[in-house]
Amino acid sequence: MKFTKMHGLGNDYIYVDAISQKIENPNEISKFVSDRHFGIGSDGLVLILPSDVADFKMRMFNSDGSEAEMCGNAIRCVGKFVYDKKMTDKSTITIETLAGIKVLEMTIENGKVVLVKVDMGEPILKAEEIPVLSEKHPVIDEEITAKDYCYNFTCVSMGNPHAITYIENVDEFPLEKIGPLFEIHEKFPRKTNVEFVELIDKNTVKMRVWERGAGETLACGTGACAVLTASVLKGYVGRKATVKLLGGDLTIEWNEFDKHIYMTGPATTVFEGEIDI
């Protein structure tokens, strides 16, 4: 099986052209290739497939073999994969995912993709759709207490729930200790991703994310989108800002006209490989 290891801000997957290669039981393959010591080592597996409704179809599998809907970091790499490997010559393409069809606009330099802009759709602000137990609409500064920690959370969904709060000095924050307390708080019927954010200036915020079921990760695309949305609702930043994550920076825009969130960020090819499956 030929593959390419790529990452989006350190969120790394194994990408496989499943158009020219027949891939059976991707769940098992994902478990094997993801193993950091016995396999290739990655956060999971991404298959690029033909599509009847878009330019390509993307299926992605976590390191435990379960299938995932979509991931902002991964879909940018899919765009770079198909363009750099000349599977398309269009710089704007559509990708079919379990979270619907996504539109990608790619910035090309010297024939290679350097940045990818992804339409992440409208943020969901209704409490019952996020979901979070709150009377507010939108859910701004909902006070939530867990053990002896109390924070005001602004809650947003990008197809998955996010709870965002603002603190000083995010680098020093004890995320491993506090993140899990709010991840599973009863206010969140389907648990939640938890983002702790430090305001840098009117155009820049810095975040760390405790991901639902994964703990701290280097980068979470939907988390960055949710953080921008919350920061606009709070009046902290303009509609377009840089979100700084452990793995690097994303530019997020909440478009005033179509109300969609646009995420722009890098996609990096690390190496090409071949493995016996």
Binding residues (CB under 8 A) for a second copy: these are 5, 7, 10-12, 36-43, 218, 247, 268, 270-276
Whole-number minimum distance, CB 270 to a second copy, in Å?
Answer: 7
**Nearest-angstrom CA–CA distance, 79 and 73:** 11
Question: What residues are paired with 97 via a beta bridge?
Answer: 100
**Nearest-angstrom CA–CA distance, 263 and 253:** 7
In the chain, what is the greatest distance between 2 CA atoms, to the nearest angstrom? 55
CB-nearer residue toward a second copy: 12 or 17:
12
Whole-number minimum distance, CB 275 to a second copy, in Å?
Answer: 4
**Nearest-angstrom CA–CA distance, 125 and 131:** 9
Distances (CA, A) of 181 to 147, 174, 220: 8, 12, 19
Q: Which is nearest to 195 in space by CA: 162, 241, 228? A: 162
To 10 degrees, what angle do helices 72-84 and 221-233 make?
120
- Would you say 222 is a known binding-site residue? yes
Whole-number minimum distance, CB 218 to a second copy, in Å?
Answer: 6
CB-nearer residue toward a second copy: 34 or 154:
34
CB-nearer residue toward a second copy: 130 or 267:
267
Question: Catalytic residue numbers?
Answer: 71, 220
Whole-number minimum distance, CB 43 to a second copy, in Å?
Answer: 8
CB-nearer residue toward a second copy: 257 or 271:
271
> Which residues sit in the known binding site?
11, 62, 72-73, 160, 193, 211-212, 221-222
Numbered residues of the known binding site for substrate: 11, 62, 72-73, 160, 193, 211-212, 221-222
